[in-house]
Amino acid sequence: MNATSDPEPIEPSVEPSVRLIPLGGLGEIGLNMMLVESGDDLIAVDCGVMFPDDEMLGIDRVIPDFSYLLGKREAFRGVVLTHGHEDHIGALPYLLREVNAPIYGTPLTLAFVKDRLGEHGLADLADLRPIRPRDVVELGPFRVEAIRVTHSIADGIGLAIDTPVGTIVHTGDFKLDPSPIDHEYPDYTRFAELGERGVLCLCSDSTNVDRPGHTRSETEVGQALAPRFEKARGRIILATFASHIHRIQQVLDLASRFGRKVALLGMSMVGNVRIAAELGYLKIPDGILLPLEELAELPPSRQVILSTGSQGEEHSALALMAAKEHRSVQVEPGDLVILSARIIPGNERVIGRVINALFRLGAEVLWEDVAFVHVSGHASQEDLKLMLNLTRPRFFVPVHGEYRHLLMHARLAESVGLARDRIFVIEDSLGVELTKTSGRVLGRFPAGRVLVDGKGIGDVGNVVLRDRQLLAQDGMVVVALTVDRNTGDLLAGPEIASRGFVYVKESVELLEEVKATIRQALAERAPATPVDGELLGSLVKGAVRRFINQRFQRKPVVLPVIMEV
């Protein structure tokens, strides 16, 4: 097994070759983007975002570093999208500001892309080119074929990318659902045909590699929800991902079956339902949807609210309901609240708070840990083995997951007979170069996480994040004073303001001690030392930090403001 610790220098291969260069999605969940490069030409598979964790204070989203791609923009042939989730399409607005390239995807995927681009004023400028399963597009030396897969969003595809040295199969996010809601089955036949013909490399989704067995079918969720809808005596509030069109379809069908009406909550829910219905991916029963105001006039036993917020996101509809801050919906005793989605790792605490708040309001709450209300959209171990056996690749690169997922997937590939030296476990910035008969790990390519904060892209880095973390943990102390520009003598101050350190009005004596410490530090300064505002600032900062650390074992951010007159 070729691990990430042994990359070779980036040098041209003497044989014809193809390079796989992950800019995101290998080493984390989300941020999915992989470059495929042959000679001077390259394409991208997906272009997604990652949503910030608790340590990324104030950050709105994270996008890949496009610098390697932009350095070769003249040779960039386009982006091919596997499906319409944000972690696969969400960074496109930021890429298309820098380079004008065609974007290929299935109709629903491109509809979601156009909607996102519209928010950035780019919808009319983008070159969006629809493809369907079994369609083939020529992109420079690449011949890219779309292959139907199932996932937790409709219209998902994997890709067969013919290159000058062989075929690369990229699964995208996938599961092998034997009974999909839309009867669009995974194209087992095409994957098997590719395996018969010969697959140079398989890049396969690793998200659920730690789950044994097969991933259950989406139809089973509807079967499990049916008795919940039948027995509920009050209102049903169901939260799920707005992109999960098949889950939404089942909720609408169940509501119709049991004589209930449905109102949609959340801008993304309303928008995605509209898009999916217009394109024919969602079949809305006649008269089932009502505005929220009209739904409220019905008895609770006839109401269903289909909402966003299954991850407890701040300001989402469900979070506002739980906090009693939603302007139109108040959770009441007798309500049944169903979180029909997987809890994304890292969101457990936030979702736990929402669930507790809903229980306090008298609702009955069901979620994945206590009831069967969700199935994953990702392949489990036996499905992953089947994909390996169908395609029978010469080389294997696990994708889409944290390092532990990638490593477990590599071991799974070994268990079905793939030789260890033909498996490459890499993370972002490392690449794999393949010829018809050999493979090697290359590195390092420019890659990393670019932070988006408001309209700022990349202007917040690790130093700023560390400052924000310090401010959040220990607060800030601002020291203002005026000195003689010639002698350095203290003329006025020091005055102290504090935020997040102590409450100033209740800490007068403590702040006087801090002032005394500053005066003493200035008085002990060597008389011959030249007056320099930056040096005085460092002197004041050091004195204040030492005093506070010794007294409280805290390390607030200290900002000296020195005026010279």
User: Which amino acids are annotated catalytic?
Assistant: 205, 378
Residue with tokens 């990652």: 50
Residue found by looking up tokens 């004073």 in the block: 481
Question: How far apart, in whole angstroms, are the C-alpha atoms of residue 269 and residue 277?
Answer: 12
Contact yes or no for 279/111 (Cβ under 8 A): yes
Give the number of other CB atoms < 10 A from CB of residue 4: 19
Nearest partner of 34 among 193, 209, 169, judged by Cα: 169
Q: Are strands 490-499 and 476-483 parallel, antiparallel or unpaired?
A: antiparallel
Place of tokens 């109401």: 303
Report how far residue 22's alpha carbon sits from residue 34's, in angstroms, rounded to the nearest whole number: 4
Largest CA distance in the chain: 89
Helix (H) or strand (E) holding 308: none
Length of the chain: 565
Tokens representing residue 14 in the block = 């003497």
Comparing C-alpha atoms, which of 456, 463, 378, 426 is closest to residue 62? 456
Judge whether 273 and 251 are in contact, CB under 8 Å: no
Cβ-contact 421, 2 below 8 angstroms = yes
In the block, residue with structure tokens 């007294």: 551
Residue with tokens 């979620």: 367
Q: What does the alpha-carbon distance between residue 555 and residue 562 come to, in Å, rounded to a whole number?
A: 21
Q: Which helix (H) or strand (E) holds 498?
A: strand 490-499
DSSP state of 243: T
- Single-letter code of the amino acid located at 474: D
Estimate the share of the chain in helix, then strand, then coil, as percent rounded to the nearest 5: 30, 25, 40
